[in-house]
Structure 1
Amino acid sequence: MYADTLTWGHGPRTFEVFLEPTCPFSVKAFNKFDDLLAQAGPERITLKIRLQSQPWHLFSGVVVRCVLAAATLDGGKESAKAVLAAVAAHREEFEFKDHATGPNRDATPNDIIARLEGYSGLALADAFANPDLQHAIKWHCKYARQNGIHVSPTFMIDGLVQPDMSSGDSVADWLARLE
């Protein structure tokens, strides 16, 4: 099993963003990536999405596994991006109210997988169930830990954490940092 890397562009400046897919701030950052790549151009930057599962987002592990399962399907990283976009567009259906209550307390992991399949148009269940997918999940987790990443979104430029960058920054602000 091979999970495609979540990398777009091929420029000399590397912009890595650690995201938890159901985090509202990660969604805010994710929604700017297409604009960032369009403005910068794929020859100027390399954008890498790293997944940062967080336990206070209670379906985080299931959603992260679905994103990486999608990366093993035809379309690879674009399939994974479609799952991230589905979560971003319907975030409340993958999160608990106040991280503890609400209708999702009755949802099962299979419900979450089925919702993501419906919104993304991808068949995720079989890839999700493949035990070899654990290697990709552990890689993302270890990589984040090795770089001192604890929360999402966290931004790195050329391997250095940028603690003063945020999802609230404009694309123009990000571009200025990448020049």
Structure 2
Amino acid sequence: MALQPTLKPLIIAGRPDAPHTLDIFLDYVCPFSAKMSLTIDKVVKPLLDAGGKYDGKVKAILRPQVQPWHVASTLTHESALAVAKVAPEKFWSYSVALFKNQTEFFDKAIANLTVTQIREKLVALAVPIIGDDKKAELTNFLTYKSTPNGGIAVTDELKYNIKFGRQNGIHVSPTVLWDGLVANEISSSWTEQDWNDFFKAKVIV
């Protein structure tokens, strides 16, 4: 599937030139997305990364899927895209941290916080992962531009991902595409055996 060059860090597993593609649409404040993210980290990535059984055969792309009924969805996705800019090699590590700490950004948890305060919390979550030396740069990426309604430095990347999801008719998170087609059988409840059976059926080793 297509991926604009500035979003290369969203390839979270496998080689960029791998012939097969898993497009994984996740929302950082969706509990089912969080559940799937842990399986991706523990099961899927080891299979696709260097030395894995499907190394060079399959790549996985995290597709940010903003779900606007979750108040913090846009803000959490913006922060991940900003991390992809300032520390691209840490994008997945930060994504995992977001999923593990997502309850801190649930609606009730942020009900009395301003947008700026929420972004400060997101930066605080990122700093131990990306390094204190990149805190100022990350903060700058998450600061409003001088124009009244122009968004922030990663607004264009956010728009790209939202448009990509809409164009492909993605509504539910998580949703997974295999080589461009929705794989409805894949769910957040899949086990290691389920993933192994899937790849065995789909990939010629």
TM-score of the superposed pair, with normalisation by structure 1: 0.86
Q: CA deviation at 1:4?
A: 3.9
Moved more, 114-123 or 149-158: 114-123
CA 1:89/1:152 → structure 2, altered by over 3 Å: closer, same or farther? same
Aligned equivalents of 1:71, 1:149: Cα separation in 2 = 23
Deviations 1:30-87 (A, max 9, x none): 11222212134232310100001001211100111111011111x31x3322331221
Matched residue, 2:23: 16
Query: Given the alignment, which residue of 143, 159, 162 partners 1:138?
Result: 159
The 5 A counterparts of 1:88-107 are: 88-96=99-107, 102-107=108-113
Aligned equivalents of 1:12, 1:175: Cα separation in 2 = 18
Aligned equivalents of 1:107, 1:82: Cα separation in 2 = 25
Matched residue, 2:172: 151
C-alpha RMSD of the superposition: 2.0
Structure 2 residue runs without a partner (length 5+) = 1-5, 146-151
Moved more, 27-36 or 57-66: 27-36
Q: CA deviation at 1:132?
A: 4.2
Secondary structure of 1:151's counterpart equals coil
Matched residue, 2:148: none
| Partner amino acid, structure 2, of 1:108 | T
Residue 19 (structure 2) pairs with residue 6 (structure 1)? no
CA 1:157/1:175 → structure 2, altered by over 3 Å: closer, same or farther? farther
Query: Given the alignment, which residue of 141, 147, 155 partners 1:127?
Result: 141
Residue 35 (structure 2) pairs with residue 28 (structure 1)? yes
Structure 1 residue runs without a partner (length 5+) = 97-101
Give the structure with higher Rg (CA). 2
Query: Given the alignment, which residue of 74, 80, 90 partners 1:79?
Result: 90
Q: Which has the higher helix share?
A: 2
Aligned equivalents of 1:5, 1:82: Cα separation in 2 = 11
Matched residue, 2:74: 61
Moved more, 145-154 or 112-121: 112-121
Matched residue, 1:99: none
Runs of 4+ in 1 over 3 A off after TM superposition: 2-5
Q: CA deviation at 1:161?
A: 0.5
8 Å contact 1:66–1:83 — kept in the other structure?
Answer: no
8 Å contact 1:21–1:87 — kept in the other structure?
Answer: yes
8 Å contact 2:23–2:63 — kept in the other structure?
Answer: yes
Moved more, 113-122 or 157-166: 113-122
Identity of paired residues, percent?
30
Matched residue, 2:116: 110
Query: Given the alignment, which residue of 46, 50, 66 partners 1:38?
Result: 46
| Partner amino acid, structure 2, of 1:51 | P
